[in-house]
Structure 1
């Protein structure tokens, strides 16, 4: 949660949200905006948190109206008093001038509360000195002190209160004894001493009490606003965290779906293209081999179609990401079957299992299968003429961890024409290496996907040159596999 401001916003400083603000992105005419371009949810405001009646809500949404109401409360009675028949012409003109000046200052009380309070105190002192009357400036001082206390901390509000009260009280003590003649001439003379003293004391008490009450109410309002502001900030922080978590979950789901789609499309289409090209190249020479390649092509296509339907089913069904696993519906094939499929596509693959072989759960077994499948797919795409491809599966045990080790190594393949045989030169271009030496190939998404899969089980994947070829190493922690079985076989056999 962000640090809260020193001065919380007042309700009348809250701007009204437009009526169109309730419209959500994508509900209007035209196509909906992409997820990354959509506007953030509407923030929770103080007006939403407080239960205000229609009148208070109106004034909170229209603070200028409240400014004019405060000005009217001070100016209208004062103007009527100044223009009354009981007042001489000179007093009327001076009183009207001071009332208008005080009203103009009060209009700015929200924007510059401290400045307005000090200026009102100065104008009030002049008004008492000239007219011999407080002229209602104790009411103006009350509004000004309230504005200061409601928007500024106590270390500022109390000194302002002291200055205002002392200024008006001092003026009352010094000049509250002016008598005017019937023709409007202003004279300065002493009236009955007892009455003058009582009037001064009453004026000072009224000013002090009004300002203290205004300070107490303003301080309480500021504390309540601060509390509401903290609640609003906390609610907005929770909403932001929830939205971020939803976006992260959506991004993770998209990444999982993209990874599965990449595995299905990249592997299956690569094998299918290789099988089709192989069947075309060997059709005239060896019809039986061509027919076998076409059978494998059909089998691979059907398996890819089933996998793709499974992945797309997650996108179609509401809540599918919670109820439908992204893994293919059929059981993950054994590595021997995958190796045999690539061997049929033309890769000289050899599978070697060494050491005790665990029986992992379905999820970890699929992860291992996808890593080997992606590695062999890359070999078939970028080094189809590799003379040797080795797949090693082993187990490594160390204190506190049990690892399944995978290693896929291939030697660099020859390009057609570089010492290749006649049969190799007859291969279709789609099977041969098409990328010039030194030019990077691929997008790297396959390796990223392998690393993401391995990270689920606390593992790592490394890929890079090895000797004259390419090597992929993967380590998966068996002790993090919830579906792991205890059984193990230790035959040390080699499958070629």
Structure 2
């Protein structure tokens, strides 16, 4: 069943409008021309044709068509003192100007119509032998003709106003559609950036742990195979966890998959510390126990900041670096990761996403993040996330 809101108002097409105008002119010529011809009124028949024919261009050239009709009517008033059927074209021409021409032309046509009403009333009364033309017998005819002209002008003006109103609604709807498309595009871009940050954190952290553990396993295999076995188990579990998170993130990009697996939070920071220690990094942790409940987005941001900071320590601080991880929860979540390694002097190509991603995460929640070298050597990351 068709939706009623999808139905468009019925309108004539271009071809139908042309045939309608031709039928209108043909009707006036047939009825008026033949009537005047049969009555022996040849001048009236000529003026009827002169007044009706310009209506063929009343849509494409409404103002010239009106001027032609008005000129023919003026010549008729001067040369013929009786009404003709062709004078029905005058209100049609006034309507056309009010409908399709600028407003000033419509008002001009209305004023010309009022003047024509007065002249036509006086001329008709004189031609019909009404005797002396006085205000008493002139006013009824003038008012009647003027009312017809006013009604024609009002109909045209209302139609033009409605058309402009509909056009403005269509323009606003198109603008709203363009804005909606732009908002969807911006939202998709933001989502891609968010997924890129998540992917960077997951891949960089997981691979850094795997690389460190693999190096350790290679050296330990020759001396203590049991240590190598435990290290390989850590590599396996880390790789599986990273793959699980990657599948969840990639699920957001697939149709029909919402990727609603549980997100890590503040309580999972301890797992990051244990993982870093298992990878050989010397970590001192000061974490709230048990982890307090915080909004999911804030908890995820804190987790990712610690995760990326520990990844940077493994990549840049050196094998002998010591790390302290501190998390405080009060009116805001405070996160600090500080090391005493050589990360401050490490070379960077300037294209990394780590620090930029951490700052973006903090800014999303109205917080701030500071990162840089510390006095005495090392590097520190400090973030504040309001609750």
- TM-score, structure 2 length as denominator? 0.75
Counterpart of 1:388 in structure 2 is: 321
The alpha carbon displacement at 1:193 in A equals 3.1
1:144 aligns with 2:93: yes
Partners of 2:52 and 2:89 within 8 A in 1: no
1:269 aligns with 2:225: no
> What CA deviation, in whole Å up to 9, does each residue of 1:8-33 have, x standing for no partner?
xxxxxxxxxxxxxxxxxxxxxxxxxx
Partners of 2:59 and 2:96 within 8 A in 1: no
> What CA deviation, in whole Å up to 9, does each residue of 1:303-329 have, x standing for no partner?
2233234434555574736xx24515x
1:160 maps to which of 94, 109, 118: 109
1:463 aligns with 2:379: no
1:306 maps to which of 244, 247, 259: 244
CA–CA separation in structure 2 for the residues paired with 1:287 and 1:413: 32
* Unpaired segments ≥5 residues, structure 2: none
1:213 maps to which of 151, 156, 177: 151
Partners of 2:313 and 2:343 within 8 A in 1: no
More helix by proportion, 1 or 2? 2
CA–CA separation in structure 2 for the residues paired with 1:342 and 1:411: 15
The alpha carbon displacement at 1:371 in A equals 0.7
Q: Give the 3 Å change call, closer, same or farther, for CA 318–48 of structure 1 in structure 2.
A: same
Residue aligned with 1:296, SS = helix
Partners of 1:310 and 1:326 within 8 A in 2: no
1:341 maps to which of 247, 253, 275: 275
Aligned positions of 1:12-411 closer than 5 A: 52=9, 57-59=10-12, 62-63=13-14, 65-78=16-29, 81-82=32-33, 84-87=37-40, 92=45, 95-100=48-53, 102-108=54-60, 113-114=62-63, 116-132=65-81, 135-136=84-85, 138-150=87-99, 157-167=106-116, 169-170=118-119, 173=122, 193-194=129-130, 204=142, 207-222=145-160, 224-225=162-163, 250-284=188-222, 287-314=225-252, 318=256, 320=258, 324-325=260-261, 327=263, 333-335=268-270, 337-347=271-281, 349-353=282-286, 359-361=291-293, 363=296, 364-381=298-315, 383=316, 385=318, 387-395=320-328, 401-409=331-339, 411=341
> What CA deviation, in whole Å up to 9, does each residue of 1:322-346 have, x standing for no partner?
xx24515x995343x4234334435
CA–CA separation in structure 1 for the residues paired with 2:380 and 2:173: 52
Residue aligned with 2:323, SS = strand
CA–CA separation in structure 2 for the residues paired with 1:277 and 1:246: 46
1:453 maps to which of 361, 365, 371: 361
Q: Give the 3 Å change call, closer, same or farther, for CA 450–236 of structure 1 in structure 2.
A: same
> What CA deviation, in whole Å up to 9, does each residue of 1:435-488 have, x standing for no partner?
xx5x514432x33432343235432123344465543221122xx2xxxxxxxx
Which structure exhibits the higher relative contact order, with contacts defined as CA atoms closer than 8 Å and separated by 6 or more residues?
Answer: 1
CA–CA separation in structure 2 for the residues paired with 1:238 and 1:302: 46
Residue aligned with 1:284, SS = helix
Q: Give the 3 Å change call, closer, same or farther, for CA 137–255 of structure 1 in structure 2.
A: farther
Q: Give the 3 Å change call, closer, same or farther, for CA 394–384 of structure 1 in structure 2.
A: closer
Partners of 1:346 and 1:384 within 8 A in 2: no
The alpha carbon displacement at 1:300 in A equals 0.7
The alpha carbon displacement at 1:91 in A equals 6.1
CA–CA separation in structure 2 for the residues paired with 1:200 and 1:161: 20
1:473 aligns with 2:382: yes
How well do the aligned residues superpose, as a CA RMSD in angstroms? 4.4
> What CA deviation, in whole Å up to 9, does each residue of 1:40-78 have, x standing for no partner?
xxxxxxx968763xxxx241xx14532441343134422
CA–CA separation in structure 2 for the residues paired with 1:314 and 1:248: 17
Q: Give the 3 Å change call, closer, same or farther, for CA 409–142 of structure 1 in structure 2.
A: farther
Q: Give the 3 Å change call, closer, same or farther, for CA 49–124 of structure 1 in structure 2.
A: farther
- TM-score, structure 1 length as denominator? 0.61
Residue aligned with 1:320, SS = coil
Number of aligned residue pairs: give it: 377
The alpha carbon displacement at 1:268 in A equals 0.8
The alpha carbon displacement at 1:170 in A equals 2.5
Q: Give the 3 Å change call, closer, same or farther, for CA 128–301 of structure 1 in structure 2.
A: same
The alpha carbon displacement at 1:375 in A equals 1.4
